[in-house]
Amino acid sequence: MEKETKVFDSELKVLEILWSAGELPAKEVAARAAAEAGWSKTTTYTVLKKCVEKGLIARGEPGFLCRPLVTREAVQRRETRELIDRMYGGSADRLVASLLEGRTLSAQEIDRLRALVEGLS
Domains of the chain (ranges plus CATH)? 9-72 (1.10.10.10)
- The DSSP secondary-structure symbol of 104 reads P
User: What is the value of pTM for the model shown?
Assistant: 0.78
What pLDDT is recorded for position 65?
95
Sign of CA dihedral 13, 57, 17, 42: positive
> What is the per-residue pLDDT for 4?
63
Low-confidence ranges of the chain (pLDDT < 70): 1-4
Phi/psi region, residue 110 (left: phi>0; alpha: psi -120 to 50; beta: rest), is alpha
Q: Which of 47, 80, 40, 55 is nearest to 2 (CA)?
A: 55
